[in-house]
Amino acid sequence: MAIQIQIRRGLSSAWTSADPVLAEGELAVETDTLKFKVGNGSTNWNILPYASGQTGSQGPTGPTGATGKFGMNPVFSRQGSLVATQGTQRFYIERAGTVSTVRVSVGTPSSGSAIIVDVRINEASMLNAPIVLQPGEYTKLGSISKVSVLPNDYVTVNIDGVGSVTAGANLTVTLVIE
């Protein structure tokens, strides 16, 4: 008799919105980013760190419908209330490929005015325009022309707007590299 094991799964925006507490040892996967977390029985999703390590390949088609392998997609995360900042943290590309998708998500949306984020590769914006999360929005894809990257290229994130009444919080920027 075959035994089937299913892992909790859903879109990153749904996890962020629901903000559940995962049981101790419970796995949960973001189906659009392929990142996962392991519960400890007491910490809410938005505070619980992502599990570390290399992900496997997805496919023949990945979550964006594009052909190719997915894994080791760079993720930038800033916990807590957002403050305007210009590229103060770098994260480095591990493998050559083409950035096909840039997603910005927050655990807490802003109010009053928008959160504005620019994602830069080696100091040049990779977006056609900064990503603007309007008040109340949790996630948005950036408009991007596919950008080629090489190992040791670096990515910085500029946070140009955070909200005027209430600042957004718990920012995550995910790149999909094909």
- Arithmetic mean of pLDDT over the chain: 81
Tell me what the mean pLDDT of segment 89-96 comes to. Answer: 82
Quote the pLDDT of residue 117. 94
CA distances 150 to 38, 121, 153, Å, are 31, 10, 6
Q: How far apart are CA 50 and CA 87, in angstroms?
A: 22
69 has a pLDDT exceeding 60: no
Quote the pLDDT of residue 4. 54
For Cα atoms 27, 33, 34, give the angle at the middle one, nearest 5 degrees.
Answer: 40
Quote the pLDDT of residue 167. 94
Is the pTM here over 0.85, yes or no? no
134 has a pLDDT exceeding 80: yes
Model confidence pLDDT, tens digit, residues 158-178: 999 999 999 999 998 888 888
Confidence label for 66 from pLDDT (cuts 50, 70 and 90)? very low
SS3 of 17, please? Answer: helix
Quote the pLDDT of residue 26. 83
- Output phi, psi for 70, to 5 deg: -120, 145
43 has a pLDDT exceeding 80: yes
65 has a pLDDT exceeding 60: no
**Highest mean predicted confidence (pLDDT) among 31-40, 80-89, 150-159:** 150-159
What SS3 string covers 70-96? CCCCCEEEEEEECCCEEEEEEEECCCC
Do residues 144 and 127 make contact, with C-beta atoms less than 8 angstroms apart?
Answer: yes
Residue with the bigger pLDDT between 113 and 22: it is 113
